[in-house]
Amino acid sequence: MNLKTFLLGTCSAIVIAGFAQAETLTIATVNNGDMVRMQTLTDDFTKANPDIQLEWVTLEENVLRERVTTDIATKGGQYDVLTIGTYEVPIWAKQGWLLPLDNLGADYDVDDLLPAIRSGLTADGKLYAAPFYGESSMVMYRKDLIEKAGLKMPDAPTWEFIGEAARKMTDRAAGINGICLRGKAGWGENMAFLTATSNAFGARWFDENWKPQFDQPEWKATLDMYVKLMNDAGPQGASSNGFNENLALFQQGKCGMWIDATVAASFVTNPKDSTVADKVGFALAPDTGLGKRGNWLWAWNLAIPAGTQKAEAAEKFVSWATSKHYLDIVAAKEGWANVPPGTRTSLYNNPEYQKAAPFAKMTLDSINAADPKNPSVKPVPYVGVQFVAIPEFQGLGTTVGQLFSAALAGQMTVDDALAQAQQVTTREMTRGGYIK
């Protein structure tokens, strides 16, 4: 072998090695149980796709949102797959920040996705994100306490019934609060609950001309009911309680009822963490007889940013992680009760899942009952049940949430909170060009 042949051979080997090198996908995600579980189950994907490696960036929800927004807006190209919520998908798709998911594969069965969830992720007829897990909200209640109160929880309760039950179940001496609801300020905290609840009272954030509606009687009725109920039957310091705080209270047996995300059902019925696991019943989110229930609709989804150089590999991963096959993997390794819920019709038709998850039917009914395009009784110019899918909502929702949290804490009256909410929202919507 002469020198020339040796050099040529070496160069070719280097080039081939370069081409054969695995492509690395950087996936931005949040620290939720289902997401963490997925990171331990990716062997199945990497075995089938040895040319693709996965790197995870796990961040706190708001930091993730901020980081991903900066990266997409500046075309930084740091991420190949994003975990984003239902709120972001329509806004980012409209901005051209996300790639449409056109090649999820022949056996992906996109029609199996729950229609309510799928519609929230679709813009101009194209799917821009694939749901990893979905949720609505519902009533979780203590069957023993409601029985003791001499009541029977209907499958579809009214707010009037919930109020009566909460007050009857409250036993402060025994440390039992009739009801635990979100009070911590934030667009995804108390405002997710209150916005969804306000729909049942016929309230809305804006009328058809984007005029804020906090000065209308429907919002007054919503907030009056909430503050009075929490004062009579809620836990102390409720204005600091979010999902996690209420979860801990319910698991310790300190709540008669809790109205929150359907995903909590698997936590409160898990005997490892919950002291009341075998005493929990479920019901639809309450209404007031106006035809709308206060149940929200949310999904954590996988999407591909427009700036990625690895779109093909990224779509392969998204397809795998949100497929029926992935649900089977989780079921085989962790049991059916632990599969990511709320995304596929076939899961809810599966007898094994129905058996393992007593909350399955109520979760499906809650998701199906949510209508993001017509969330309230009166028409609205926006999409979203517990949020308004406009970029300004994060800031607005948090500001209004702080006012409502202050009203709950007794730092201001309901009327003052609503008046200030109306003032702030009108100013911001005028500034944003929505109100001419």
Partner 1 sequence: MARAVSTRRTVFFTIVAWIIALVIFFPILYTIITSFKSETEAIQGFNLIPSGTVESYAAVQAQSNYFKFFLNSVIISVGSTLLALLISVPAAWSMAFSPTNKTKDILMWMLSTKMMPAAAVMVPIYLLFRDFGLLDSRFGLTVMLTMINLPIVVWMLYTYFREIPGEILEASRMDGASLWGEIWYVLTPMAVPGIASTMLLNIILAWNEAFWTIRLTTTNAAPLTAFIASFSSPQGLFWAKLSAASTLAIAPILIMGWFSQKQLVRGLTFGAVK
Which one among 49, 67, 88, 92 touches partner 1, defined by CB under 8 A?
67
Site string for partner 1, 94-133 (x = CB under 8 A): ----------------------------------------
Asked if residues 77 and 94 have their Cβ atoms less than 8 Å apart, the reply is no
Interface stretch with partner 1, choices 197-205, 263-271, 403-411, 416-424 (CB under 8 A) = 263-271
Helices (H), 264-387: 264-268, 311-321, 324-334, 345-349, 351-356, 360-369
Binding region for partner 1 (CB under 8 A) out of 50-58, 110-118, 283-291, 319-327: 50-58
Task: Single out the residue of 173, 167, 331, 362 nearest to residue 261, CA to CA.
Answer: 362
- Site membership for partner 1, residue 395 (CB under 8 A): no
Options 38, 49, 79, 323; binder of partner 1; rule CB under 8 A: 79
Smallest separation (angstroms) from partner 1 to the CB of 11: 25
Q: Does residue number 70 form part of the binding site for partner 1 (CB under 8 A)?
A: yes
Angle at 245 between CA 249 and CA 141, to 5 degrees: 45
Token output for 175: 């440390």
Alpha-carbon span 297 to 86, nearest angstrom:
8
Residue 190 interacts with partner 1 (CB under 8 A)? no
Kind plus residue range of the DSSP H or E element containing 6 = helix 3-20
* Subset of 223-252 contacting partner 1 (CB under 8 A): 243-245, 247-248, 251-252
Fill in the per-residue mask, 5 to 44: x = in contact with partner 1 (CB under 8 A), - = not in contact: ---------------------x-x-xxxx--x--x-----
Compute the least distance from the CB of residue 74 to partner 1, in Å: 5
Among 320, 286, 281, CA closest to 302: 320
Which lies closer to partner 1 via its Cβ, residue 108 or residue 359? 359
Which burial class, exposed, middle or buried, applies to 406 when counting CB atoms under 10 A from its CB (0-12, 13-18, 19+)?
Answer: middle
Query: How many other CB atoms are there within 10 angstroms of residue 19's CB atom?
Result: 8
| Chosen residue from 23, 41, 46, 57 binding partner 1 by CB under 8 A | 57
Nearer to partner 1, 35 or 123 (CB): 35
CB 134, min distance to partner 1, A: 13
Query: Shortest distance, CB of residue 335 to partner 1, whole angstroms?
Result: 18
- If the CB atoms of residues 51 and 273 are measured against partner 1, the closer one turns out to be 273
Find out whether 241 and 114 touch, Cβ atoms under 8 Å: no
Q: Are 152 and 228 in contact (CB under 8 A)?
A: no
Residue 55 Cα distances to 15, 58, 66, 102, 409, angstroms:
24, 10, 20, 24, 43
Is residue 263 involved in binding partner 1 (CB under 8 A)?
yes
**Who's near 297: CB < 8 A, 6+ residues apart?**
86, 116, 117, 120, 134, 135, 136, 367, 370, 372, 385, 386
Please report how close the Cβ of residue 426 comes to partner 1 at its closest, in angstroms.
27
CA-closest candidate to residue 356, choices 376, 333, 339: 339
Q: How far is the CB of 184 from partner 1 (least distance, A)?
A: 12
Number of chain positions touching partner 1 (CB under 8 A): 40
Shortest Å distance, C-beta 53 to partner 1: 11
Cα–Cα dist 260/265, whole Å: 9
Tell which one of 261, 313, 385, 417 touches partner 1 (CB under 8 A): 261
Instruction: Find the shortest distance in angstroms from Cβ 251 to partner 1.
Output: 6
| 328 touches partner 1 (CB under 8 A) | no
Rounded distance between C-alpha atoms, residue 45 and residue 393, angstroms: 37
Longest dimension (CA), the chain: 96
Residue among 79 and 219 whose Cβ is closer to partner 1? 79
Q: Quick one: which of 23, 41, 44, 56 contacts partner 1 (CB under 8 A)?
A: 56
Angle at 146 between CA 143 and CA 147, to 5 degrees: 85
Least distance from partner 1 to the Cβ atom of residue 413, Å: 29
3-state SS, residue 290: coil
Give the interface with partner 1 as residue ranges (CB under 8 A): 26, 28, 30-33, 36, 39, 55-61, 63, 66-67, 70-71, 73-79, 188, 243-245, 247-248, 251-252, 261, 263-264, 267, 273
